Amino acid sequence: MIFSNTSDVIKAEGVLKTAGYSIRVMSPPAQYRTGCDLAIDFPLVEQFGIVRCLKEEEIIPLDILPLSEERLEPLKICRVTDFGDYLMIKAANMKITVHKISRKIVNISGGGCPDVPYLASEMIGKRLSEAPSPRKLGYTLCAYSLNVAFDEAHRVMEEQSC
């Protein structure tokens, strides 16, 4: 399933996973690539349900096509660095740093797409629980990676408080 922008893919992924569909976010086929884009892989038999589910959320795919070529999956592995009072979580080319006690986001580093500095200005200074999710505000693959780091930061901080 191809979309007109990465933001729609990020939203569609959230909607479809919440609805219980087994989907994967992947790179689009070569003819659709611009250098910063995503597509969604899904079982063809579930097409009607999936499209209806997205329509209800006003997310309309640009195209749906069967594919056989090998494509890449976005990186979802994180690396954590402990700075004492702060934790830095890195996913792909994105880093988010959180103060351990206040849980405030103190820095966002890395990336190269235009929404990264925008997300930084919206998220820095806010607690993890209050900060807007890159999934909601972002448009690009860098935002996707930042979201992976953001989710991991939530998980690690929860683990630390247990």
Partner 1 sequence: MLVLAGTIPIQGLPLLAGQGVLTPEGLVINDHVLDKNRGTAAMMTTVAVVCKKYGLRPPLCVVAGDTGKRDGSSKVYAYLTEHLEELHPEVMAFHYIMPDIVRNNRLVKAIKRLERKPLLIADAGSMYVAKAGGHAPYYDIFTPDMGELAFLADEKADHPAYTRGFIWHMNQEVHELVHRAYHWKNAANILFVKGSTDYICRSGQVLTSISQPSVPELEAIGGTGDTITGMLTALAYRGGDLIEACMIAARANREAGSLAKPTPATQVDKIIECIPQALHKAETSLVESLMEGASRVQDSSAMVANGENIVTH
For partner 1, which stretch binds (CB under 8 A), given 40-48, 53-61, 99-107, 152-160? Answer: 99-107
Among 53, 141, 149, 153, binds partner 1 (CB under 8 A): 141
d(CA 90, CA 108): 10
Q: Which of 71, 89, 72 is nearest to 80 (CA)?
A: 89
For partner 1, which stretch binds (CB under 8 A), given 14-22, 52-60, 109-117, 149-157? Answer: 109-117
Among 51, 57, 64, 86, binds partner 1 (CB under 8 A): 86
75 in contact with partner 1 (CB under 8 A) = yes
- For tokens 């693959």, name the residue: 141
Q: Which tokens sit at 109?
A: 């580093």
d(CA 109, CA 35): 21
d(CA 53, CA 19): 8
- Site residues for partner 1 per CB under 8 A: 5, 7, 27, 33-36, 72-75, 77, 81, 83, 85-86, 88, 90, 92-95, 97, 99, 106-118, 120-121, 124, 138-145
